[in-house]
Structure 1
Amino acid sequence: MKILSIPIESLTLKETIKLIKNCIDKNHFTQHVVVNAGKIVAMQKDEALRKSVLEADIINADGMAVVWASRFLGKALPERVAGIDLMLKLVEMAHEEGYKCFFLGAKEEVVKKVVEVFKEKYSEKIIAGYRNGYFNEEEEEEVVKQIANSGAHMLFVAISSPKKEVFVNKYKDIMNVPFVMGVGGSFDVVAGITKRAPLWMQKIGMEWFYRFIQEPRRMWKRYLIGNSKFIWLVLKEKFKSGRGQK
């Protein structure tokens, strides 16, 4: 269903995983992205980000703000599909189904720790490879070659937006990976660098605030200004649709 002109999958987490498994088994390239209030606001002005998101095959609502907006606009999404929850479930599925995962992004010590955590929890057999996210445009083809030769079924990209969306969209035809997903700051959580909000805060849609109080200087603009702009976009959409029904 379309929320603020963005086609978002009306799927639960369980249904999303089933869809992704089907794509992997068919060896059909699938690019997955999640959208939250901040990304939707950024898409209004960043044409490259907007294009790369809209060209993705699966778009889930990561933020509760998007789910609330869908209800307010009369197009209720079934639930939030948080990027980190989906990534953790997919890594578990990799262990169960014999898939391999490639982890791209974050600092070297962080992505290395992520790989160590998953090796210990599951098996080194699920690891196709890893690479930190600090590379320039001249090194991109080398990184893509490493991924393409790794035998990975799933690629998790922990690079900031819009760089990760643009990177994946640019090289999706030659990466030789059935499933690619941007995972934001998920590597930091798995590595123990940052903590997720308590479950009760996640359920009431306040996970963003928990992250804000951990890094107020870095996050204040994204959340306080970004969320305000998102609310304005939703109100404009509601008013526009209301006038159209008259």
Structure 2
Amino acid sequence: MQTDIEKQVTYPIHTDFRRRVVCILGLPFDVVTLDQAVEKVATAAEKKSRCFLSTPNLNFAVASMEGGAFRDSVIRSDLSVADGMPLVWIARLLGLPIRERVAGSTLFEILRDGSARKTNAGLLSVYFFGGPDGVAERAAEKLNASSSWLRCAGSYSPGFESVENMSSADVIDRINSSGADFVVVALGAKKGQAWIERNLSRLRAPVISHLGAVVNFVAGTVSRAPVWVRQLGCEWLWRIKEEPALWRRYWNDGLMLLRLAVTRVLPCAVATRMKGRDLDAMARARVSVRMHERRSRIVASGAWGEGNLSALRDACERITATPCNVHVDFARVTQIDSACIGLLLLLYGHQTKIGRDFEMHNVRPSVMRTMRLHCADYLVARPDRVQGFPQEAVVN
């Protein structure tokens, strides 16, 4: 007899290349307001469509500098929002269209309140997974005792187990049998993202996100900063007041922010303002898809940015319609911006989802500098690792 865990969960692997995303510190961020993010999550839950929500803050961005699975988990998300005022400040400095913080805790509060929901659907059910011993149970009790658009379908605190031990058939069966629409994970950022990625295809809940502090806030074991403190960008001070052990993390993140501001963010802002947009090159931009037996290739030319990405989005959709290894040839690309890099991140993320290669090569020095300033130069393959296509001459 099949258990719930042995039954295949039928959420297809899909990447929405029409998402409007920008790159900040090497990560993709959706250009959405708080209300838009709430609506996306609520709609996904109600229509039973997969939404892996990531809420990267400064700590996420700093940890992602190491690369690897944690960074890639954010890139592979279906929705990635700027949960941190430093990221919003960086976006403003770079002239990016992210205007407000979309905090995961606030998103949950609005879903709970129901005031911003545009649909007439009934209650959504949530499952709390993780948190300190007994806190998830307390959060469940308080949520179900309140007048809310959310009800808690179950909770479980696995303790300080490994990701592998927390991914047993019994654990996943327990979550699936609850019938929850939304799994809220609270295991610490790295472990939480790793657990989600390991079990995403096995979980039936359409919406999944690591929202570490939410369980504590709902349970009342930690109080959240008042709105005026959040608006000033000082919620981190309040968190230290509530949880003094966090001071070291914020100190280290602050030092890294200063370093990134000097070496990447400020030089990027200056370069962006000095260069401006090459409107003629954007008008002449072209892209083609060349299908090959072993590898398929996107070949682009001209300047690419926020205003002309439609053709490049079409190329991404076409080349990923059939699973294949993908090469991106930028030999004749003269300029890109954060939105173009964001789209490339989505393509890279899609390829890692399906276990196929992504290689970007023949990148001009000026374009490479832009990618480096956006902390996304890891997308570019080293010349000695590119195989299958001849190197085209790069014009400096």
TM-score (norm 2): 0.58
1:30 to 45, 51, 71: 51
Say whether residues 1:121 and 2:146 are aligned partners: yes
Bigger Rg over Cα: 2
Q: List per-residue Cα deviations over 1:105-128 (Å, max 9, x = no partner).
A: 112321111011111103798222
Q: List per-residue Cα deviations over 1:165-185 (Å, max 9, x = no partner).
A: 011011111101110111112
1:212 alignment counterpart = 240
Assess, with a 3 A threshold, how the Cα gap between structure 1 residues 123 and 200 changes in structure 2: closer, same or farther. closer
1:177 alignment counterpart = 205
Letter in 2 for 1:176: R
Say whether residues 1:233 and 2:260 are aligned partners: yes
Q: List per-residue Cα deviations over 1:87-109 (Å, max 9, x = no partner).
A: 12223449962322111111232
CA distance in 1, matches of 2:84, 2:198: 26
* Structure 2, gaps ≥5 residues long: 1-21, 276-396
Q: Identify the structure with the greater helix proportion.
A: 1
Assess, with a 3 A threshold, how the Cα gap between structure 1 residues 14 and 123 changes in structure 2: closer, same or farther. closer
Alignment of 1:14-93 (within 5 A): 14-93=35-114
Contact 1:40 1:230 in 2 (8 A): no
Contact 2:111 2:150 in 1 (8 A): no
1:159 alignment counterpart = 187
TM-score (norm 1): 0.91
2:387 alignment counterpart = none
Higher relative contact order (CA 8 A, sep 6+): 1
CA distance in 2, matches of 1:166, 1:157: 11
Cα deviation, residue 56, structure 1: 0.8
Letter in 1 for 2:186: A
CA distance in 2, matches of 1:139, 1:169: 13
The percentage of aligned residue pairs carrying the same residue is: 27
* Root mean square deviation of aligned Cα: 2.3
Contact 2:112 2:148 in 1 (8 A): no
* Structure 1, gaps ≥5 residues long: none
Give the SS at the match of 2:55.
Answer: strand
1:101 to 120, 126, 131: 126
Name the stretch that deviates more: 16-25 or 157-166: 16-25
CA distance in 1, matches of 2:97, 2:90: 8
Say whether residues 1:242 and 2:270 are aligned partners: yes
